[in-house]
């Protein structure tokens, strides 16, 4: 082993892992400079060995801060490092997170969650007593990690030129990160992984993901040895899979879930080695992708899905969206099977679909509520994020929405500077909406109750799963257990930072508190029991069996789903009197035009309203022009795109653009339902100047609007990259379908005779999925390799087809035959 610089006593006592080979390079680079990028695969040992090795360095006179993306990973990393030092957690190695701290005066390495570090540096810009900051698993690109790195680079440049910054990752976009850090040394550890046999078990389009995962687990359990790690998108799918596996895995196998809402003990159970003579099936979310090791796993089942938060600036709501994983994530997951011995990774998709996966998971900063970030930037004295070194700049729409919200909440002044209320909101360590709620409640003596409610909303699983927040808050107050007790203590600490005013001994309904956090989510029942429209214009629903489904008005704290089908997850009951008492001046009277859902026409009225909620109205003459188009857009946003009369060509145009967006990305726009609804003012409103209702919309105007979303330079490539038709060797044109994961061409096999190359689009780079049919247009074969089909299974197909269709040519070598659309002449 070649070490570039002498190692200290700690380094000499560390186990030999793959990253050991480059520890000398790392310590040497940080002795000569202050920035390093380390790329090392899972299992290399970077998370535990690198921080310990840095403790031996002469320049390391203070603490080392190690950032981890999740609490589970932070606890696991601290525990492993402490065990290597033969110490307890909290001695030289400790951790710090929102609900749990284990540090002492002796602590030299602090493992912290990324959000904790952002607050540390904001509160102490000089990072006094800190020698190095290590960003682990940076490829996950959380908002807090991106922000933390931008702040650390700013501090290093302006105040602490001795501060060391090390960015580590298993799957890293090295060139971009190195460029952001002004090209520091980039060190690569090759790692040590055992061979992983990657197999595919394609999931049918109508097969539920939990059914496919259960099937794959049962098959692998019967045919392979070792424990199994299965990746599913979320908690609901994990629980349903666990139900399906109950009683089917044998007594020697234990099934354990692993997701963020579990207690520390439950998470530790999942990552603990299986007992001797037993096997383990771990059902996990992406939480198990990186940072932690689950001993004994040699089989990975990958659903290929993950759940990511997506923020909608137009509604101010963050929803969870189930999407395909990136290629980097798929590789990370597969690598989990080869950590300790040769393994097997079973992917529940067709192998050809892997190339269409995005290279990396999208950075969180591009799809997040940025109000908290903007509040912190204002505290840092920055109004333009371009001043800081962000790998990806915050999107302008979400950033502007954050500014509007913070101004409404009183956190920013008209110039965008931090107000006194804004400073207090930031000190509360809560999302801005909940900070504003706590401050407002404290003025009436209900600050602690508001803080309990805020913690309940930010720590999932507390107080049970009831939609009614009054009921959940009641249960939370009396809930036993370490996590609930820690959460109540956190609420008390937050409340201690509120202005010291009188405290009421009474309890007020949760809805009156939530009005100050979510005034835009006040909801009025409309359309029957359980159906509501919110002040932000979005529809939301509750099951009719829920008690709150009968309420006339609610304030909604959490919901999920798309457009008008949003499902309320957490809410509290309120009344109009509550609104008038708590939000003086929120209910307004004005003249407006609107979309009448019943007649599907635009109308005008004088209304008394709260946002999109109408209390009283009086008819006015019907409007026209842009005003009517905007009202039409409001109707489309409320009902959904299915109300629009897209032509057949318009529908195909949308599918083609959507395919290019999925396979290429920029500059091809997202034309999915959610994206188009969010951009109605861009592609719909400008082309509906003559429409006064849905029935008067010209289908051609919708196609014209869709084309307007394509940048001019790219528009000329549309037909080349995603043509509408394929011209067969016969000269016949056949439509190409783009409604699935890959482009599909259905064609009679005789028309492809003589073709020696597989048909492809996008300049020949993307093969078409061929659905070959008989002369009667009945399916014969599906192939992505036409030459291989000619040379392989054509012989069997030919034998069958000759019997069925004797009057059609079925040559021995179709690659050399003439294409045709006709039968053989009679008598031949």
> What would the pLDDT profile of 737-757 be if each residue is shown by its tens digit?
998 888 999 999 999 999 999
Residue 242's closest CA among 206, 270, 268? Answer: 270
597-654 residue pLDDT tens: 889 999 988 989 898 898 888 998 888 888 899 999 999 998 999 999 999 999 999 9
Residue 553's closest CA among 564, 542, 566, 567? Answer: 542
Confidence of residue 192 (pLDDT cuts 50, 70, 90): low
Look at residue 306 and give its three-state secondary structure.
strand
Percentage of the chain modeled with pLDDT above 90? 56
**Rounded (10°) CA dihedral 471, 476, 478, 481:** 140
Look at residue 404 and give its three-state secondary structure.
helix
pTM of the model: 0.68
What's the confidence (pLDDT) of residue 71?
A: 86
Which strands, in side-by-side order, build the sheet including 725-727? 725-727, 733-737, 744-748, 769-773, 779-783
Q: Mean pLDDT of all residues in the chain? A: 89
676-733 residue pLDDT tens: 999 999 999 999 988 888 988 999 999 999 999 999 888 888 988 899 999 999 989 9
First to last CA, the chain: 78
CATH code for residues 196-365: 3.40.50.300
Reading the block at residue 335, the tokens are 């690598």
CATH topology of domain 9-188: Rossmann fold (3.40.50)
Confidence of residue 332 (pLDDT cuts 50, 70, 90): confident
Cα gap 207→203, rounded to integer Å? 7
Mean pLDDT of 78-86: 94
Mean pLDDT of 546-574: 88
Range(s) within the chain of domains with CATH label 3.40.50.300: 9-188, 196-365
Reading the block at residue 440, the tokens are 């407002």
Residue 244 burial (10 A CB sphere; 0-12, 13-18, 19+): middle
Cβ atoms of 197 and 358 closer than 8 Å: no
Cα gap 140→290, rounded to integer Å? 9
């Amino acid at each position: 082993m070649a070490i570039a610089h002498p190692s200290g006593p700690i380094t000499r006592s560390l186990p030999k892992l793959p990253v050991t080979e480059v520890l000398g390079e790392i310590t040497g680079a940080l002795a000569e400079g202050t920035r390093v990028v380390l790329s090392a695969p899972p299992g290399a040992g970077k998370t535990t060995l690198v921080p310990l090795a840095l403790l031996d360095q002469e320049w390391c006179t203070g603490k080392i801060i190690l950032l981890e993306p999740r609490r589970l990973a932070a606890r696991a990393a601290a525990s492993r490092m402490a065990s290597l030092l033969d110490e307890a957690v909290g001695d030289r190695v400790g951790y710090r997170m929102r609900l749990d701290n284990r540090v002492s005066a002796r602590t030299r390495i602090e493992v912290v969650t990324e959000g904790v570090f952002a607050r540390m540096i904001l509160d102490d810009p000089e990072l006094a007593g800190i020698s190095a900051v290590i960003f682990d698993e940076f490829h996950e690109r959380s908002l807090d990690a991106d922000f933390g790195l931008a702040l650390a680079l700013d501090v290093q440049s302006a105040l602490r030129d001795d501060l060391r910054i090390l960015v580590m990752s298993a799957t890293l976009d090295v060139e971009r990160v190195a460029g952001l850090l002004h090209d520091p040394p980039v060190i690569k550890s090759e790692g040590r992984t055992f061979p992983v046999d990657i197999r595919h078990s394609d999931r049918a389009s109508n097969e539920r993901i939990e059914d496919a995962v259960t099937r794959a687990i049962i098959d692998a359990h019967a045919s392979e040895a070792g424990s199994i790690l299965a990746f599913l998108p979320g908690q609901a799918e994990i629980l349903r899979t666990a139900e399906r596996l109950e009683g089917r895995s044998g007594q020697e196998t234990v099934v354990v879930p692993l997701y963020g809402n579990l207690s520390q003990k439950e998470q530790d159970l999942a990552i603990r080695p299986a007992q001797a003579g037993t096997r383990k099936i771990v059902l996990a979310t992406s939480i198990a992708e990186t940072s932690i090791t689950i001993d004994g796993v040699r089989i990975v089942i990958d659903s290929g899905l993950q759940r990511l938060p997506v923020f909608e600036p137009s509604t101010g709501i963050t929803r969870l969206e189930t999407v395909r994983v990136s290629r980097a994530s798929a590789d990370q997951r597969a690598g989990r099977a080869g950590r300790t011995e040769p393994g097997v990774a079973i992917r529940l998709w067709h192998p050809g679909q892997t190339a269409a996966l995005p290279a990396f998971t999208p950075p969180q900063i591009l799809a997040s509520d940025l109000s908290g970030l903007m509040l912190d930037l204002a505290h840092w004295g920055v109004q333009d994020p371009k001043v800081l070194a962000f790998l990806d700049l915050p999107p302008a729409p979400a950033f502007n929405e954050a500014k509007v919200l913070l101004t409404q909440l009183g956190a920013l002044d008209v110039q965008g500077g931090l107000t006194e209320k804004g400073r207090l909101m930031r000190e509360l360590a809560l999302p801005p909406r909940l900070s504003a709620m706590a401050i407002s409640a404290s003025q009436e003596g209900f600050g602690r109750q508001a803080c309990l409610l805020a913690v309940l909303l930010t720590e999932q699983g507390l107080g049970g799963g009831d939609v009614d927040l009054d009921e959940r808050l009641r249960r939370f107050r009396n809930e036993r257990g370490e996590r609930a007790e820690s959460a109540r203590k956190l609420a008390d600490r937050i409340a201690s930072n509120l202005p010291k005013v009188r405290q009421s001994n009474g309890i007020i309904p949760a809805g009156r508190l939530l009005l100050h956090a979510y005034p835009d989510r006040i909801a009025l029942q409309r359309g029957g029991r359980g159906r509501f429209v919110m002040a932000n214009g979005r529809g939301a629903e509750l099951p009719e069996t829920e008690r709150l489904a009968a309420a006339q008005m609610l304030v909604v704290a959490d919901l999920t789903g798309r457009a008008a089908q949003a499902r309320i997850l957490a809410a509290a009951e309120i009344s109009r009197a509550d609104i008038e008492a708590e939000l003086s001046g929120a209910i307004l009277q004005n003249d407006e035009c609107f979309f009448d859902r019943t007649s599907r026409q635009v109308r005008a009225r004088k209304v008394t309203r709260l946002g999109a909620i109408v209390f009283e109205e009086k008819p006015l003459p019907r409007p026209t022009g842009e005003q009517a188009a905007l009202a039409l857009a409001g109707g489309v946003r409320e009902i959904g795109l299915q109300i629009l009369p897209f032509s057949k060509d318009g529908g195909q145009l949308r599918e083609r653009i959507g395919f290019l967006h999925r396979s290429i990305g920029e500059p091809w726009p997202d034309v999915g339902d959610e994206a188009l609804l969010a951009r109605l003012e861009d592609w719909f409103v400008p082309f509906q100047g003559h429409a006064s209702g849905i029935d008067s919309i010209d289908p051609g105007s919708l196609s014209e609007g869709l084309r307007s979303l394509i940048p001019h330079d790219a528009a000329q490539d549309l037909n080349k990259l995603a043509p509408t038709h394929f011209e067969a060797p016969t000269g016949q044109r056949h439509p190409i379908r783009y409604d699935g994961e890959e482009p599909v061409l259905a064609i009679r096999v005789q028309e492809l005779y003589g073709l020696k190359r597989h048909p492809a689009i996008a300049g020949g780079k993307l093969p078409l999925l061929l659905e070959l049919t008989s002369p009667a247009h009945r399916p014969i074969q599906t192939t992505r390799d036409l030459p291989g089909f000619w040379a392989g299974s054509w012989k069997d197909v030919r034998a069958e087809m000759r019997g069925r269709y004797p009057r059609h040519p079925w040559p021995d070598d179709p690659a050399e035959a003439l294409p045709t659309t006709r039968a053989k002449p009679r008598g031949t």
